[in-house]
Structure 1
Amino acid sequence: MSKIAEIRMLFEAKIKDGIPNPPGSFDQRDLDRVKSDKYLYRVLEHCENNVQLAVEMLFNLMLWRKTNAVNEITEENVNAEYLRDGLFFPRGRDIDSCILFIMKSKKFVKGQKDMDALKKVIIYWFERLEREEDGKKMTLFFDMDGCGLSNMDVDIIMYMITLLKNYYPNFVNYIIVFELPWILSAGFKIVKGILPARAVEKLRTINKDKLKDLVAPEQALVSWGGKDDYVFKFISEGQTKSQESKLDTDYSPGEMVSLSPSKVLTFKTEKDVISAHLTIKNMEDSIISFKIRTTAPEKYSVKPSSGILTNGSSQTIHINVNSGFLINSVEKDRFLVLCIQVPKANLSQKELSELWKNSGGKADEYRLKCDCHETEKTTVTKDEPDFLNVKLSNLQDSHRIIMQNIKVLKVYQISTMILTFATALLGYFVYTSRNTHSCDAL
C-alpha cells in the first residue's frame, strides 16, 4: 500500500471512531481535500514522510478549519480597512517562482489594530493564495526597512509562522527578513529561537545588496532597490484573475508556455555583471517540465536550467554571461526552451530523465535570439576604425612589450647571479691564499 493510500485509510478510520468529534463535525469542503493525492503529498512532505504525523496533522487542521469557519472567510467579512492599508499584500516572485507574501512592517504600529481582526485578514490572504497558486509554495517577506520598536510585534509574526507550521502544509519556500534594523535584531533572535529547525533552514535575513540572490530585480519593488514600481492597491480575487488573463499578450493558443520576453533576450551590464532574465509561465491545464539550451553553453550560467511548473505557475530564469566574454559577443547566440508534459510535480530526477529520454519529438520548442542594450553596443562603420580590434591590438602590443621586458629582466637576473658567484669565488681564493701565506711565515 502506498503512503498516500495509508494516510487516507487511517484518517477515515480516525474520524469514524468519533474521537474527539463525530465525522459530521468537519466541513465537507475540507473532507474533499482528502480525495486529492496532491494535497496529501503536501501533508506527507510537510511531516517529513511520516504517515502517523501526517494523519495527525490532517485531523488537527480539519478541526481548526471547522472551529474557525475558515471556508467562510472572504473579503466581504474581514476588516476592509486592514485589507486596503497595504500592511499585507502579494507581489512579485522569488528565484524559485514562488509568490512573495509581503508584510510591510512600517505600516504596523503596536496597539493600533484589533489583533483578532488582523489574524482573520492573515487567514484570508493565506486561503486566497492557496487558491490562486493552486497550493504552490509562497515566500513570507517581512519588509523591515525603516522600522522602529513600535513596528515590531513578535506575537503577530509567530502567529503567521504557527499557521504555516500547523495548518498550511508545505506552503513556505523562504522566510525573508529584509533590512532588519539592529535595534530589532533581539526580537528576531527570539523568533528564531522558537522556530522549528526546518523553518530556521528557510529563514534568510538580507539587505538590498543580497536581495538579488533570492528575488530578481524585475520582481523586486523599487523601494527594495528593484525595478518594479508597483504601488499597492487592493484588488479583489475575481479582478486579479481577469487582469492576469489580459497580461498574457505573448501567448498563442496551443502553446504550452508563455515566455517573457517572447522573442529576444536583451542583455544588460549592471555592476560589471552582464545578464538577462526570462520568465516562463505554464499555460497548460497539466504539469509541464522545461529545459533551456544555448548554442554557447561555455559562455552562459543559466539558473535554473530546468524545472517543473504546475498549471498557471511561472519561473524566472537568470542568465549571466561568464567572465571573459564581451557583451557584444551575445548577439550571435541563440537560446532554446523545450517543454514536455509530465504526470506529477514531485518526480524524482531519475523519473524525469526517463521522461525526457522517451519524449522523442513531442517536446514544444521556443527559440530566442540574443541582443545587448543599445548603450553597451560598439558601433562599427566603414569610415570608423573597429574599436574592439584596436583595443585588442593595443592589448597585444602591451603584452608583447611586457614579455620583452621580462626576457631582459631574466638576462639581468642571470648576469647578476653569475657576477655574484664569481665575486664569491674570487673572495674565497683570496681568503685561502692569505691563510696559506700566514702559515708559511710561522
Structure 2
Amino acid sequence: VSPAEELSFGSGETERKSLIILNNVTKNQVAFKVRTTAPEKYRVKPSSSSCEPGASVDIVVSLHGGCQASPQDRFLIMAAEMENAGSQELTQFWKEVPKPKIMEHRLRCHSLDAVKPAVNLPRESLFDASNGGQQEVSTAFMRVMACNSRLEQKLNSCLWLQKVLTGLVLILVALNLLCLYLLGTS
C-alpha cells in the first residue's frame, strides 16, 4: 500500500485528490475495499474491486468541495486473497471470508494548508488539456506525490539510524580512549 501512513489534502485544485496505490504481491487474485471514518467528506473510486496477481490498482480519493481534511479522518483498506478466483460476487466474498484472512491497513489524513509548497505548479498548463489528458496528468501528479511521501519517510528513518550510529561510534571512541588511559597509567 502506498502511501504507507497518510493521505495529503489541500485547498488547491490539484490538492483535493490523493492517490492510493495497491500492489498485489501474492500469487492469487486479491479483493479489496476502502472505508473511511468520514464518508460524507470523501469519494473513493473504486471503493471495492479486485486486483490480479502481480498487478497494481490506483484508487483515487477525492475531497468534496467545501470540505476540509482533518487529522481525525482515517481510511481503512481491507484486502483478502481470493483463492478460488472465479466469477464470485465481491459482496458475497466479503460476507464469507474469515476475519483472520483479512489484511487491514490504516491511513490517516494530513492537511497541506499548514505547509506551503516549495514549488508552485502552473495550473494553466495542467488543466487546459483535454479531459483525458487532465486525468493522466492528475494521476501522474498524485503518483509523484505518493512517491515523494515514501521518500520522505525513508529519509527520516535513515536520519534516525544515522543519529543512532553516530551515538554508538561516540561511545566506542570514549571506551577506546578510556582503555588507552587505563593502559597508560598501569
Q: Is 1:296 aligned to residue 31 of structure 2?
A: no
The code of the aligned residue for 1:347 comes to S
Provide the C-alpha distance between the structure 2 equivalents of 1:272 and 1:286, rounded to a whole number of angstroms: 35
2:107 to 339, 346, 368: 368
Matches within 5 A, 1:86-165: none
Q: Is 1:279 aligned to residue 18 of structure 2?
A: no
Change (3 A) 1:330 1:275: farther
8 Å CA contact 1:275–1:319 kept in 2: the answer is yes
Structure 1: which 5+ residue stretches go unaligned? 1-258, 379-442
8 Å CA contact 2:18–2:60 kept in 1: the answer is yes
Query: Is the helix fraction higher in 1 or 2?
Result: 1
Large movers: runs of 4+ above 2 Å: 268-273, 343-348
Q: Tell which structure's C-alpha radius of gyration is larger.
A: 1
Provide the C-alpha distance between the structure 1 equivalents of 2:58 and 2:67, rounded to a whole number of angstroms: 23
Change (3 A) 1:272 1:366: closer
| Residue 72 (structure 2) aligns with | 332
The code of the aligned residue for 1:359 comes to V
Provide the C-alpha distance between the structure 1 equivalents of 2:76 and 2:96, rounded to a whole number of angstroms: 19
| Residue 55 (structure 2) aligns with | 313
8 Å CA contact 1:273–1:320 kept in 2: the answer is no
Q: Is 1:355 aligned to residue 97 of structure 2?
A: no
Query: Is the strand fraction higher in 1 or 2?
Result: 2
| Residue 167 (structure 2) aligns with | none
Change (3 A) 1:262 1:272: closer
Q: Secondary structure at the match of 1:262?
A: coil
TM-superposed CA distance for 1:371, in Å, is 0.6
Provide the C-alpha distance between the structure 1 equivalents of 2:57 and 2:84, rounded to a whole number of angstroms: 17
Report the TM-score when normalising by structure 1: 0.24
The code of the aligned residue for 2:13 comes to K
Report the TM-score when normalising by structure 2: 0.56
Matches within 5 A, 1:425-440: none
Which structure is higher in RCO with an 8 Å CA cutoff and minimum separation 6?
2
Q: Secondary structure at the match of 1:323?
A: coil
The code of the aligned residue for 2:73 comes to D
Provide the C-alpha distance between the structure 2 equivalents of 1:287 and 1:366, rounded to a whole number of angstroms: 18
8 Å CA contact 2:49–2:90 kept in 1: the answer is no
| Residue 64 (structure 2) aligns with | 322
Change (3 A) 1:283 1:272: closer
8 Å CA contact 1:289–1:307 kept in 2: the answer is yes
8 Å CA contact 2:28–2:85 kept in 1: the answer is no
Determine what percentage of the aligned residue pairs are the same residue. 33
Provide the C-alpha distance between the structure 2 equivalents of 1:299 and 1:266, rounded to a whole number of angstroms: 14
Change (3 A) 1:272 1:285: closer
TM-superposed CA distance for 1:262, in Å, is 0.8
Provide the C-alpha distance between the structure 2 equivalents of 1:358 and 1:364, rounded to a whole number of angstroms: 15
Q: RMSD value over aligned CA atoms? A: 2.0
Q: Is 1:377 aligned to residue 127 of structure 2?
A: no
Change (3 A) 1:309 1:273: same
| Residue 119 (structure 2) aligns with | none
8 Å CA contact 2:17–2:62 kept in 1: the answer is yes
